[in-house]
Structure 1
Amino acid sequence: MERVRVDDVENDVQPAAVMRKLTKPLGLTDLAINYYELEPGDSFSFAYHSHGVQEEVFYVIEGTATFDTDEDPVEVDAGEAIRFDRGEFQRGWNRGEERVVALALGAPLEYGEQVKLRDCPTCGEPTDNRLERVDGDGEEIVVAYCRECGTETGRWYRGSMDGEVP
């Protein structure tokens, strides 16, 4: 048995105000679990994306999360869950005025090949991006780069919103 207090897990650099990875602290080997708190405008992920081998479930504890999909946006209210299959594109947001609190669960633990689509100003369209963690004067930063041309398409600091530099 493993037990962890969510507030004791370090906040990760993500486009969400709070993102705590619970997988390792709980000693999980087949399931990924992440805890999120999204302020208005925050996102669960760095890009509109899909996982090659992982299916993903989001359970909304508080607020309303809106997921962009290949069809229409889907709103998921507190007490509801949504599942995305392997290869299904999605990106979840807090488009409301109240904080969203949610859990993301993914199985198997590995993502497989991921496609991360972000708007590239140089290419003029959404392109697949690679993410790189860099040190910015002692603070960890995540930077997104277009795989086609290498242009930077976003930059996040701990607790920053989608691509914005505080």
Structure 2
Amino acid sequence: MERVAVDDLENSVQAAAVMRGLTEPLGLTDVAINHYELEPGDSFAFAYHNHEVQEEVFYVVSGTATFETESGPVVVGPREAIRFDREEFQRGWNRGDERVVAIAIGAPLDYGTQVKLRDCPECGEETDNDLERPEGEDVVVARCKRCGTETGRWYRGSMDEVP
């Protein structure tokens, strides 16, 4: 048995104000679990994306999350859940005025190959991106796979994407 207090876990550099991973602290080997808190304008992810082998469920504890999907936006309120199948594109946002608290569960633990679509100003369209964590820096940088242009930058605890 493993037990953790979410508030005792380190906040990760993410597109959300708060993302605390429970996977490693709980010693999980087959499923990923993350606790999110999104301020207005925050996102669960760095990009509109999919997972090759992992299906994902988001359970909204409080607030309202809006997910971009291939069939249009889907609004998920408190005490509701949404599931995304393998290779299904999605990106969740807090488009409201109050904080969103949610739990994300993904299985299996491995993502497989991910496609991360972001607008590239150089290419003039949405392109697949790589995410980098430069050594010695507390930042995540998104770069277009096609031309190498930086398309986003996030710092720990920052609520907004830095262009």
TM bucket by the smaller chain? over 0.9
Shift of 1:160: 2.0
Shift of 1:164: 1.7
Quote the residue 1:157 is aligned against: 155
Count of residue pairs the alignment pairs up? 163
CA distance in 1 between partners of 2:70 and 2:157 (Å): 28
Aligned partner of residue 91 in structure 1, secondary structure:
strand
Cα distance change, pair 161–120 in 1 and its aligned pair in 2 (3 A): farther
Aligned partner of residue 102 in structure 1, secondary structure:
strand
**Paired amino acid for 1:94:** N
Question: Per-residue displacement from partner, 1:3-46 (whole Å, max 9, x unpaired)?
Answer: 00000110000010100010000000000000000000000000
Does residue 90 (structure 1) correspond to residue 87 (structure 2)? The answer is no
TM-score, normalised relative to structure 2? 0.97
Aligned partner of residue 7 in structure 2, secondary structure:
helix
Aligned partner of residue 134 in structure 1, secondary structure:
coil
- Give unmatched runs, 5+ long, in structure 1: none
CA distance in 2 between partners of 1:114 and 1:40 (Å): 26
Cα distance change, pair 48–162 in 1 and its aligned pair in 2 (3 A): farther
Aligned partner of residue 138 in structure 2, secondary structure:
strand
Shift of 1:106: 0.1
> What is the aligned-residue RMSD (CA, Å)?
1.0
TM-score, normalised relative to structure 1? 0.96
Quote the residue 1:102 is aligned against: 102
Q: What is the correspondence of 1:1-166 to structure 2 with a 5 Å cutoff?
A: 1-135=1-135, 139-164=137-162
| % identical equivalent positions | 75
CA distance in 1 between partners of 2:160 and 2:113 (Å): 22
Shift of 1:163: 2.5
CA distance in 1 between partners of 2:69 and 2:6 (Å): 29
CA distance in 2 between partners of 1:18 and 1:130 (Å): 22
Moved more, 52-61 or 155-164: 155-164
CA distance in 2 between partners of 1:162 and 1:147 (Å): 23
Q: Which runs of 4+ in 1 moved over 3 A?
A: none
**Paired amino acid for 1:141:** V
Q: Is the 8 A contact 1:43 1:162 kept in 2?
A: no
Shift of 1:118: 0.2
**Paired amino acid for 2:47:** A
Shift of 1:161: 3.5
Q: Is the 8 A contact 1:15 1:159 kept in 2?
A: no
